[in-house]
Structure 1
Amino acid sequence: MIGKNHDEPLSLMDIPAKTDKNKRKPSTSAAPNDHRKKRRRLAVSSETAIPKSSDPQKLAASSRLKTICSPSRTSRKHGKRRSSQTDGHRRWVYSARDCSRFIDKFMVASYNILGVENALNHPDLYHRVPSKFLDWSFRKELICNAIKFYNAGILCLQEVDRFDDLDELFQNYGYKGVYKARTGEANDGCAVFWIDKLFSLLHQETIEFQNFGLRNNVAQLCVLKMNKSKSKSKTSRSFVIGNIHVLFNPNRGDIKLGQVRLFLEKAHSLSQRWGNVPVIIAGDLNSIPKSAIYQFLASSELDIQLHDRRKISGQLDFSSSHGAFRFCSGGTKWSNVSTSKSFGWSDEEIRIASGSENVTRLQHPLKLSSAYYGIPGSYKTRDTNGEPLVTSFHSKFMGTVDYIWHSEKLAPVRVLETLPVDALKKTGGLPNEKWGSDHLALVCELAFDDDENDS
């Protein structure tokens, strides 16, 4: 492991070399503020009461919002006071369920680290970012420091175009890794790292989506096994870990869906071949939580004819209530993106999305849950789905596109909260002096959840 396994991991602002001389002292007159905050919490709760509706989707959404607005219950369960989020800090939040029976646990991080060439080739996205914060040597140090303090046993990285640099550095921390470069002209790709003492690589394979007429993106699938199981379970502590970076182009929802559909099919097939082991899906899906792609992952099915191809990912059509914004580079105003005109699907687009002729209803056999959805969080950092409000922020986008999903037999124990929207807005964009990418890493602790641990 890397250093000590902290219950409250240090953020980059907590690194000893960068002490904060202006750290605020506790206020001696907090009572009025506490009173206002209490009223605000009550107002939020009253607005999110479960409606009298027969629509299960509406009931689920309302119940989820009510849960994530009540983190105090979780704090009391774990016997620690969870302080509110502040500028530059990220804190752990814990599951509301009793996780004491879980024995075999491990940490997973998913992080789009911003490819060096991508940063150089798209200056319009980072025109508000000082050039020194885009320098790879500077960003690499921040990324490595973050990885050390996250202390994750497994890393799923996207937009990796300096794999040799990271591989050499991460070896010092006990990691081994595998890399898959994108096909075509782009030089970045995906990388999976794991701590060698904790896990063994049993199998690996990659997906080149161009072989299926789905552009030059790639994905990775690895079968990992825990080297030391502490439980008495006879079940193999193996699992499939999948890492993907989905096509960005918002207009090609057919290709996005095709990539996700194929990725899930391959992950399920690999799980079956290795004894129906659990599956973890991590990566940048280039889709927001209110999108049809998110719905497909969460509900295991999707009728594509009910959705506009250009709105499948939600990138071109979202509202401020969903926590996703587009930044107007000419000023400081934050505005909603206008709705695009609806249009249907061609036969070719249906074939690309579904992989078959005349098939419009997609299904996948994995029963997936989002790790962040499964852990109560603050309304300052979560949307009504329970997902982070923001995982990516540059001059033209502020919203959530990154996720960690898990199948049955795994349960989330804790997740690392992202940053509040108001704190991120003050930075003007990522990367900056604290964060080495235009994305924030997602980090969660997962546990094997089986009946044998109850004995």
Structure 2
Amino acid sequence: QMAILLAEVDKVARLSDGSHCPIILCGDLNSVPDSPLYNFIRDGELQYHGMPAWKVSGQEDFSHQLYQRKLQAPLWPSSLGVTDHCQYFSSCHPKRAERLKYSRDFLLQFRFCDIACQRPVGLVLMEGVTDTKPERPADWAPSVLEEDTLEPEPVFPRTVGTIQHCLHLTSVYTHFLPQHGRPEVTTMPLGLGTTVDYIFFSAESCENGNRTDRRLDQDGTLKLLGRLSLLSEEILWAANGLPNPFCSSDHLCLLASFGMEVTAP
């Protein structure tokens, strides 16, 4: 689902020179901060081969289970038309269809075949309906060849165990409240506070001289001007969790303000 979403975003936002216009991507992604799926959106790469399926979103921990389903390459079939760079691929090569399709001209070749010109046994004679016999044209060919029924199938190279995208996204929120020393919370399923809702936007990468485990970003064309502060789990519990008399939804609202410099052509 995420690959198709990113492919759609790439299709809409890609410019003629190969770059992308500024992007704002919002939604409930059913994944927690620093999970493999979250890091894939932010860092642009995910090495998934052999990863337990439950670990992708980070919402559940099934490490105690003896048998765990692990992700294998490729993650989706080529027939989906999406490359491992989360972009649509248009070039195709012929593939024989599982279900044959025939043109009108091909079907008309059976009009004067031996079976068509043979009167079925027990056919009731009806004047003007079954009392005539088709006459074969002089140039009719008795041999019928099967029509070529090849359908296009996407063909593109696949990477082994890695998917990528080139949208350069970063999160509006830091997912941590330094003044409280607690994580930010956007929802409270089963009474446990967690973050699954996000606002991602286009940013430019910058050098990370001190840390190598996290990519640093700086504002690009989009300038983040401000955001609505989120709450911690403790504060929400003081308000009787979610939903409560002050918030009728089981998710908190996310809000961000952006500025963008537009230059005249």
Structure 2 residue aligned with 1:300: 44
Structure 2 residue aligned with 1:344: 70
Which aligned pairs between 1:55-454 and structure 2 lie closer than 5 A?
A: 259-273=1-15, 276-305=20-49, 307-317=51-61, 339-341=63-65, 342-346=68-72, 350-351=75-76, 359-373=160-174, 377-380=177-180, 383=183, 389-408=184-203, 409-448=221-260
- CA separation in 1, counterparts of 2:77 and 2:31? 18
Contact preservation (8 Å) 2:50, 2:71: no
Contact preservation (8 Å) 1:381, 1:390: no
CA deviation after TM superposition for structure 1 residue 427, in Å: 3.2
Q: Residue by residue, what CA displacement relative to the aligned partner does 1:278-326 show, whole Å, maximum 9, x if unpaired?
A: 1110000000002101000110011111531111000113xxxxxxxxx
**What is the one-letter code of the residue matched to 2:185?**
V
Richer in helix (by share) = 1
**What is the one-letter code of the residue matched to 2:171?**
S
Q: 1:435 and 1:309, CA in 2 relative to 1: closer, same or farther beyond 3 A? A: same
CA deviation after TM superposition for structure 1 residue 393, in Å: 1.3
Q: Over the residues paired in the alignment, what is the CA RMSD in angstroms?
A: 3.1
Q: 1:312 and 1:376, CA in 2 relative to 1: closer, same or farther beyond 3 A? A: closer
Which aligned pairs between 1:16-55 and structure 2 lie closer than 5 A?
A: none
CA deviation after TM superposition for structure 1 residue 351, in Å: 1.9
CA deviation after TM superposition for structure 1 residue 382, in Å: 5.5
- CA separation in 1, counterparts of 2:8 and 2:235? 39
- CA separation in 1, counterparts of 2:243 and 2:52? 33
CA deviation after TM superposition for structure 1 residue 368, in Å: 0.5
Contact preservation (8 Å) 1:394, 1:429: no
- CA separation in 2, counterparts of 1:267 and 1:435? 31
Q: Residue by residue, what CA displacement relative to the aligned partner does 1:117-174 show, whole Å, maximum 9, x if unpaired?
A: xxxxxxxxxxxxxxxxxxxxxxxxxxxxxxxxxxxxxxxxxxxxxxxxxxxxxxxxxx
Q: 1:307 and 1:435, CA in 2 relative to 1: closer, same or farther beyond 3 A? A: same
Q: 1:397 and 1:340, CA in 2 relative to 1: closer, same or farther beyond 3 A? A: farther
**What is the one-letter code of the residue matched to 1:263?**
L
* SS of alignment partner, residue 296 of structure 1: helix
CA deviation after TM superposition for structure 1 residue 376, in Å: 8.7
* SS of alignment partner, residue 438 of structure 1: coil
- CA separation in 2, counterparts of 1:280 and 1:366? 10
CA deviation after TM superposition for structure 1 residue 448, in Å: 1.4
Q: 1:381 and 1:399, CA in 2 relative to 1: closer, same or farther beyond 3 A? A: farther
**What is the one-letter code of the residue matched to 1:268?**
D
- CA separation in 2, counterparts of 1:368 and 1:397? 28
Contact preservation (8 Å) 2:49, 2:73: no
* SS of alignment partner, residue 188 of structure 2: strand
Q: Residue by residue, what CA displacement relative to the aligned partner does 1:382-428 show, whole Å, maximum 9, x if unpaired?
A: 64xxxxx2100143542000000001321211111112321112234
* SS of alignment partner, residue 76 of structure 2: helix
| Structure with bigger gyration radius | 2
Q: Residue by residue, what CA displacement relative to the aligned partner does 1:162-191 show, whole Å, maximum 9, x if unpaired?
A: xxxxxxxxxxxxxxxxxxxxxxxxxxxxxx
Give 5+ residue unaligned stretches, structure 1: 1-258, 318-337, 384-388
Q: 1:300 and 1:343, CA in 2 relative to 1: closer, same or farther beyond 3 A? A: same
Q: 1:274 and 1:378, CA in 2 relative to 1: closer, same or farther beyond 3 A? A: farther
The two structures have a TM-score, normalised by structure 1, of 0.33
CA deviation after TM superposition for structure 1 residue 365, in Å: 1.2
Q: 1:381 and 1:352, CA in 2 relative to 1: closer, same or farther beyond 3 A? A: farther
Q: 1:352 and 1:429, CA in 2 relative to 1: closer, same or farther beyond 3 A? A: farther
Contact preservation (8 Å) 2:191, 2:241: no
**What is the one-letter code of the residue matched to 1:272?**
R
* SS of alignment partner, residue 266 of structure 1: helix
Q: 1:310 and 1:420, CA in 2 relative to 1: closer, same or farther beyond 3 A? A: closer
* SS of alignment partner, residue 351 of structure 1: coil
**Runs ≥4 residues deviating over 6 A:** none
CA deviation after TM superposition for structure 1 residue 431, in Å: 1.0
Give 5+ residue unaligned stretches, structure 2: 84-157, 204-220
Q: 1:347 and 1:298, CA in 2 relative to 1: closer, same or farther beyond 3 A? A: closer
- CA separation in 2, counterparts of 1:274 and 1:262? 21
Percent identity over the alignment?
Answer: 29
- CA separation in 2, counterparts of 1:360 and 1:290? 19
CA deviation after TM superposition for structure 1 residue 262, in Å: 1.3
